[in-house]
């Protein structure tokens, strides 16, 4: 029997789960079992956990459906546990180094106590000093093992479940499990403290808790706050049944109602049912108030007395007195210019137009990418919706005939942003855009992340300096309702890079639908438009941007490269969109297609791809055509930009480090041989999971038409897809 069973629920934390698991497996004390609790075998976290279970026999995952909530996940893990003591760890928290050794030593010193409470560090996600809220409470406890009556303030309801380790036999004997769905720590902690006979404290930080940017999920508005009263009633009823002594009942009562009053007084948590919440709380207060109880002084004491008397009107007036009339205005981001500001503010007062969709791609560069693909599918499936595409003045010409547009910064632009129910973007809307109640923001992204993104860029100085304010970046992220991904890797990395409360849609990228729907005629048409000579193999060269370089430098002499590989090839040069000047140049063996509107068209035309670290490789892999990685500065790029995985270990095809190596793989044919094909197949398995040709349909049905998830078309398995044919290559 292992010393410890460590239960780790993982719902919604796949992006940071590996940090939690690593912190456990790296402990110097190794006598434990690690029980990750996943939603289902095919859930994002399950992919992470499977690798750990294969490498370490101490990892024994179990499954609990999301509908069972945190309490259900912990109870499932608890039922599976066989260790002497149980420790609960949230999936985005970590054990500090030496934590288990410290717990083991303390338990050896105190004997088998029912509960060992310990300190934890609450670490702000972005800025601010860490705090140790348990330290003042545990500092007043006796040094050795003690009975609960010697530390009456240690009620259990103010400490999270992961701030203690529990004797498993004690929980089983007392039939203690996590109650309810929400505020389960309040009920569990209270029940544990009421039943425990011997407890102890460890005045050392064991868990480092990562404070979410968006705050505790329990603090969000919703009807779930009524369950706080359920937990309060459960604990106080059990205390009455046990005839808890007055010196223990008073602090328990006071701590429980401190939480209740905080919720009752918070204007945003109870968006409805405030009066009913207050009245039920008042009933519980009077029913369980200890004999001779005296309310605390000050404003809190006033709230106690109003709750005892059931005076909701007076309580509401008291809270209103603490609010300022300008609060809403202070929180309102404002566009530049007084006239524009006033017009935008006036438009925000008008009702949402529930049939208006606003699209934008690449900060207004034109009609492109995922927003354009979603718009096209919406015209087919949801013709009742009016669409407005936002573009910069010099991109108006890219908008197809019949597509309504608004120039960024114009009056129509602000009007559309203020009134639209749906806002779709592959980057981000301006800081000044207000997220209105009832509006729906869809972030489509525009690539699969190899390089670090969002908040993960903060530790790379060159990138961080170019990014600007991360606080402002993440404030824009907070507007998202949905975030689109094309593979499970993206799901996990976006969660890390853009932490917020949005829902992830594993639907694929709509712009990539064409790779499964285009015909040979479509490929021939695009090649003709781009000027690719008949019978020539077209190689798309698409290098990415270097944050440490100024201007566009290919790093490869294309003229010399063309001479080295022979006359059978032409090169389509597509620079990063940062260097798009809006023009395309054809002719000769090097055809500049940087200014071509559609990167999807360019990929269709190419028989093979040469790239360095551009995310275009993930999209192009859907075509199942050869890819060659030209990694002449991989080490510099990796250290300067930061990457999520080692591309040299998981390439989509052959890798060349020098111009000579690159030319050689085309001269000898190894760019498309069996080894290259095998590498590409493994790459496609990992990164082409959801791009099956129906991504746009799934998005339109779920987001714009509001269809339930169960009715959304499932993803077609990779083996059953038929990619668009290449012009000069024959696929087996």
d(CA 255, CA 259): 7
Q: Look-up: residue for tokens 């040094």?
A: 143
Q: What is the mean pLDDT of residues 516-521?
A: 95
pTM comes to 0.73
Measured distance CA(592)–CA(586) in Å, rounded: 6
Alpha carbon separation from 432 to 325, 340, 414, 441, 536 (Å, rounded): 21, 11, 10, 15, 49
Q: pLDDT tens across 20-55, in order? A: 999 999 999 999 999 999 988 888 888 889 999 999
Bin 410: left if φ > 0, else alpha if -120 < ψ < 50, else beta.
beta
- In this structure, are residues 240 and 289 in contact, taking their beta carbons and an 8 Å threshold? no
Distances (CA, A) of 132 to 129, 152, 157: 10, 20, 16
Instruction: DSSP letter for 198, please.
Output: S
Taking Cα atoms as reference points, which of 491, 489, 493, 488 lies closest to residue 503? 491
- Among 641, 622, 427, CA closest to 549: 641
Residue 167 CA to residue 171 CA, distance in Å, equals: 7
Each residue of 314-356: pLDDT tens digit? 777 766 655 543 344 444 445 556 677 788 889 999 999 999 9
Q: What mean pLDDT is reported for the chain?
A: 88
Condensed to tens digits (0 to 9), the pLDDT of residues 285-314 reads: 999 999 888 888 777 788 888 888 888 887
Choice between 413 and 499, residue whose per-residue pLDDT is larger: 413
- Three-state DSSP state, 3: coil
Looking at 494-633, which runs of residues are DSSP E strands?
Answer: 503-505, 537-542, 569-573, 590-592, 608-611, 627-630
Report pLDDT digits (tens) over 119-149. 999 987 665 678 899 999 999 999 999 999 9
């Amino acid at each position: 029997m292992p010393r410890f069973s460590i239960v780790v629920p993982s719902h919604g934390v796949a992006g940071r789960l590996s940090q939690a698991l690593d912190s456990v497996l790296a402990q110097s004390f190794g006598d434990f079992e690690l029980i990750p609790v996943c939603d289902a075998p095919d859930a994002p976290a399950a992919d992470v956990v499977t690798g750990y279970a294969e490498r370490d026999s101490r990892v024994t995952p179990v499954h609990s459906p999301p509908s069972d909530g945190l309490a259900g996940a912990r109870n499932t893990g608890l039922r599976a546990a066989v260790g002497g003591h149980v420790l609960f760890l949230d999936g985005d928290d970590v054990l500090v180094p030496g934590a288990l050794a410290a717990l083991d030593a303390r338990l050896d010193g105190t004997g088998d106590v029912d509960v060992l409470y310990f300190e934890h560090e609450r670490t702000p996600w972005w800025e601010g000093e860490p705090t140790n809220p348990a330290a003042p409470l545990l500092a007043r406890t006796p040094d050795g093992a003690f009975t609960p009556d010697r530390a009456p303030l240690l009620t259990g309801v103010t400490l999270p479940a992961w701030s203690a380790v529990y004797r498993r036999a004690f929980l089983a004997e007392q039939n203690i499990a996590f109650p309810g769905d929400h505020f389960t720590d309040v009920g569990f902690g209270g029940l544990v403290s009421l039943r425990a006979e011997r407890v102890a404290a460890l005045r050392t930080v064991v868990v480092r808790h990562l404070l979410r940017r968006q705050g505790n999920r329990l603090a969000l508005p919703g009807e779930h706050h009524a369950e706080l009263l359920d937990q309060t009633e459960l604990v106080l009823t059990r205390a009455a049944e046990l005839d808890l002594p007055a010196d223990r009942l008073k602090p328990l009562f006071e701590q429980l109602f401190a939480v209740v009053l905080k919720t009752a007084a918070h204007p945003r948590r109870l968006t409805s049912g405030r009066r009913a919440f207050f009245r039920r709380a008042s009933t519980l207060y009077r029913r369980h108030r200890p004999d001779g109880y005296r309310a605390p002084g000050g404003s809190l004491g006033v709230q106690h007395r109003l709750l005892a008397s059931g005076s909701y009107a007076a309580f509401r007036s008291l809270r209103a007195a603490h609010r300022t009339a300008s609060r809403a205005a202070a929180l309102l981001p404002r566009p530049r210019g007084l006239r524009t500001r006033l017009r935008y503010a006036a438009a925000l007062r008008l009702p949402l137009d529930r049939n208006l969709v606003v699209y934008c791609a690449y900060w207004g560069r034109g009609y492109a990418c995922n927003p354009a693909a979603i718009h096209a599918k919406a015209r087919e499936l949801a013709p009742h919706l009016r669409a407005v595409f936002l573009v910069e003045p010099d991109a108006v010409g890219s908008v197809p005939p019949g597509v309504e547009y608004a120039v960024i910064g114009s009056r129509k632009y602000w009007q559309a942003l203020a009134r639209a129910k749906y806002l779709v973007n592959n980057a981000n809307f301006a800081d000044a855009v207000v997220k209105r109640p009832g509006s729906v923001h869809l972030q489509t992204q525009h690539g699969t992340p190899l390089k670090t993104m969002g908040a993960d860029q903060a530790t790379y100085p060159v990138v961080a300096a170019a990014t600007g304010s991360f606080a402002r970046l993440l404030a824009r992220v907070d507007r998202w309702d949905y975030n689109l991904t094309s593979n499970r890797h993206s799901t996990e990395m976006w969660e890390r890079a853009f932490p917020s409360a949005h829902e992830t849609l594993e639907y694929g990228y709509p712009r990539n639908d064409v790779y499964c729907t285009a015909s040979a005629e479509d490929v021939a048409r695009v090649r003709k438009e781009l000027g690719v000579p008949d019978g020539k193999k077209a190689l798309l060269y698409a290098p990415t941007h270097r944050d440490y370089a100024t201007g566009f430098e290919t790093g490869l002499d294309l003229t010399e490269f063309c001479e080295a590989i022979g006359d059978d090839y032409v090169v389509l040069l597509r620079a990063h969109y940062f260097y798009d000047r809006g023009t395309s140049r054809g002719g000769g063996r090097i055809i500049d297609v940087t200014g071509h509107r559609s990167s999807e068209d360019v990929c269709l035309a190419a028989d093979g791809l040469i790239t360095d670290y551009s995310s275009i490789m993930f999209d192009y892999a859907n075509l199942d055509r050869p890819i060659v990685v030209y990694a002449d500065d991989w080490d510099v790029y990796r250290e300067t930009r930061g990457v999520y995985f080692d591309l040299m270990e998981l390439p989509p095809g052959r890798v060349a480090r020098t111009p000579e190596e690159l030319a050689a793989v085309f001269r000898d044919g190894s760019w498309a041989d069996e080894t290259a094909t095998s590498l590409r197949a493994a790459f496609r398995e990992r990164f082409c999971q959801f791009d099956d040709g129906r991504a746009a349909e799934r998005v339109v049905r779920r987001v714009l038409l509001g269809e339930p998830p169960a009715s959304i078309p499932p993803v077609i398995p990779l083996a059953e897809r038929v990619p668009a044919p290449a012009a000069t290559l024959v696929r087996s």
